[in-house]
Structure 1
């Protein structure tokens, strides 16, 4: 019953946090992130990480990215594929190189320095998607670039992590994994063009309650499981599942049904869970380092995205939006940090520092996006 109490407390606090955020004029996701800090081990110790909450938060991010796919404009994603790829590549290379050099200057070993770069190479697409959705920007040209870049960013981060673990003695068969991932993307293309539309058309021949929604969830979870099985993030599978279904006549109906379920239960738990690993014990003396690393984490995503936007003739505010959309770290970075701790690449103290920097950058990103949106409207 204690887990039920934790879930009820998270949902109640998320409602209050969302209302307060709206009144304060800040993105609602910021309030929900604060819920995790206030209720979690950092302050009140009322909610802690556990198997049930972890599972529900995983479902939450899968559904969030599924809805992002449903809302995304496929033709817009194709149109802005080149700038998306360039934003993704620079958004991986610049943080990787910057954190490697910075970490070496701080006296870290080569493997630890490379690992720092890998942590901050990944972008948290879920946080950005939530802010884009709140401000109705998912179908905009900047939204298309950000989403496309963030998906590619995650793929590159996973591949680089696999390469790194393979060279440090971890049990990763790199060529086998890359081969499986290549097959997965070919299968994904076939699914999007042929299998998923045919599957949904077949559903018209059967008769049961909410058949489209149930089948859409089945497609979403199946592709998420496949993505995870080949070493990719599950959200890549769910995003492309949503993108495929969104191009069919069933997309709008499915989106309405899924949104009700997700925003009422799963997504608040996911955003709260992001901040649960945060602990402030012994971090006071590390404040200068944490602030420096946070600034570098923000700038190494913001500046490349902005410069690519300007290079493709986007205005200053649109370019700032692109850069801001890439700043957020989150679930992907936290997963990489946990892998580093499990493989003894980093110490528990370094783990806490990295988690704090990841969450600070996650908090900053929505404010940057809100600022760029506001200036753009002016």
Structure 2
């Protein structure tokens, strides 16, 4: 048995914490340091670490636990109120990157700036697929940053979570439609039916777990570790079922598992146990693993130019698309900006989509480099931008109030008592 994995974990934990503390010193979220640790130690720089099967599996478990915790910390009532708005935000957050990103890709490919002769699909399909890649959203980075800032339960935070879940569903539909045009074995109707069944499955499981937990809590002691273990089992089973049976991302299943547990009597106790597990081991490995995926190939001037343009498009289209959706639904300007910034990160989701497209001949190997650059930049810049847009204090004070009342309102916003901030 090779015990090198022990050293790899030790290096990851030490480097992510050291760089996390450094980024905190320069007023950036610690998650940025964890991402940089993976980039620096991985193949893109010094090459001390590579992504092994063990690291990949632990990273997957890490993001599952992260989204499970996000589900437990979500304000369900606020999530219900923002349901329609989340759909509009997600819809525009998919349409704008798809149209603009696909259009830019078409200009570069159709004019011969990028050689895509290694794939057989038409230029139009290749371009649309690149637009589909840009529709992806990896909300895990945003969730960790908002937790660090104490802003996950805000109105904007709940809108981001709701929109990200719907974005995932819309992204699956878009990916299925495009790949079905290149691969006749993909059936769109079956995929849509499975997505509907997934939500039915979540509803049934939610009712069963709620009443079973309620009954169990009445006959068992307080703060039992067995409650956390069973909650973890529910999380893993729902994550597995989402991916394996319904074709929905496992993190979506984990998020809904967290929502279900949040309605039980033991949610705070269970959340405290998972926060320790995530902070101590799983989250650092997950964020470092994103950096370990970065391995930039050799690129010519045209590919570099395309990478620069498509990265700018990736940043702006999510801010504009999701921000516009938020404005249409009545959110204020600062809230729309927060939501748009929170949806920027593409993370590992874009890499997964890209790999699926390459497998069915929808994307040239020459485009993988620019996609990796988009993933790296959007992933690192999202937490950097989130901190200033969420920490800017918006204090609406109506009418004439005393100085004491003014300071009281400021304190309420600073301590997070006003959910609008």
Q: Structure 2-normalised TM-score?
A: 0.86
2 CA distance for matches of 1:170 and 1:56? 34
Asked if residue 71 in structure 1 is aligned to residue 73 in structure 2, the reply is: yes
Checking the alignment, whether the CA contact within 8 Å between 1:92 and 1:121 is kept in structure 2 is: yes
In structure 2, the residue matched to 1:138 is 152
1 CA distance for matches of 2:391 and 2:158? 19
In structure 1, the residue matched to 2:321 is 304
Equivalent of residue 376 in structure 1, options 387, 390, 393: 393
1:60-99 deviations in whole A, cap 9, x for unaligned?
1100000000000000001111211110000001101111
In structure 1, the residue matched to 2:128 is 114
Equivalent of residue 280 in structure 2, options 264, 289, 305: 264
2 CA distance for matches of 1:284 and 1:30? 29
In structure 2, the residue matched to 1:217 is 232
2 CA distance for matches of 1:172 and 1:262? 36
After TM superposition, the structure 1 stretch with the greater mean CA deviation from structure 2, 151-160 or 338-347, is 338-347
Asked if residue 334 in structure 1 is aligned to residue 334 in structure 2, the reply is: no
Asked if residue 163 in structure 1 is aligned to residue 203 in structure 2, the reply is: no
Checking the alignment, whether the CA contact within 8 Å between 2:97 and 2:321 is kept in structure 1 is: no
Asked if residue 173 in structure 1 is aligned to residue 187 in structure 2, the reply is: yes
Checking the alignment, whether the CA contact within 8 Å between 2:138 and 2:346 is kept in structure 1 is: yes
1:214-257 deviations in whole A, cap 9, x for unaligned?
01001101110111011110011000100111111111111000
Checking the alignment, whether the CA contact within 8 Å between 1:278 and 1:355 is kept in structure 2 is: yes
Equivalent of residue 24 in structure 1, options 9, 23, 26: 26
Asked if residue 149 in structure 1 is aligned to residue 150 in structure 2, the reply is: no
2 CA distance for matches of 1:333 and 1:70? 26
In the TM superposition, structure 1's runs of 4+ consecutive aligned residues that sit over 4 Å from their partners are 205-209
After TM superposition, the structure 1 stretch with the greater mean CA deviation from structure 2, 204-213 or 67-76, is 204-213
Checking the alignment, whether the CA contact within 8 Å between 2:310 and 2:370 is kept in structure 1 is: no
SS of equivalent to 2:392 = helix
Change (3 A) 1:29 1:311: same
Aligned residues: 377
After TM superposition, the structure 1 stretch with the greater mean CA deviation from structure 2, 277-286 or 321-330, is 277-286
After TM superposition, the structure 1 stretch with the greater mean CA deviation from structure 2, 33-42 or 287-296, is 287-296
Asked if residue 273 in structure 1 is aligned to residue 275 in structure 2, the reply is: no
Asked if residue 248 in structure 1 is aligned to residue 264 in structure 2, the reply is: yes
Change (3 A) 1:247 1:209: closer
2 CA distance for matches of 1:6 and 1:104? 42
1:166-205 deviations in whole A, cap 9, x for unaligned?
221163233223222211211211222x111123234444
Cα distance, 1:345 vs. partner? Answer: 2.3
Larger Rg: 2
Cα RMSD, aligned residues only: 1.8
1 CA distance for matches of 2:173 and 2:362? 18
After TM superposition, the structure 1 stretch with the greater mean CA deviation from structure 2, 138-147 or 340-349, is 340-349
Runs of 5+ unmatched residues, structure 1: none
Checking the alignment, whether the CA contact within 8 Å between 1:317 and 1:376 is kept in structure 2 is: no
In structure 2, the residue matched to 1:317 is 334
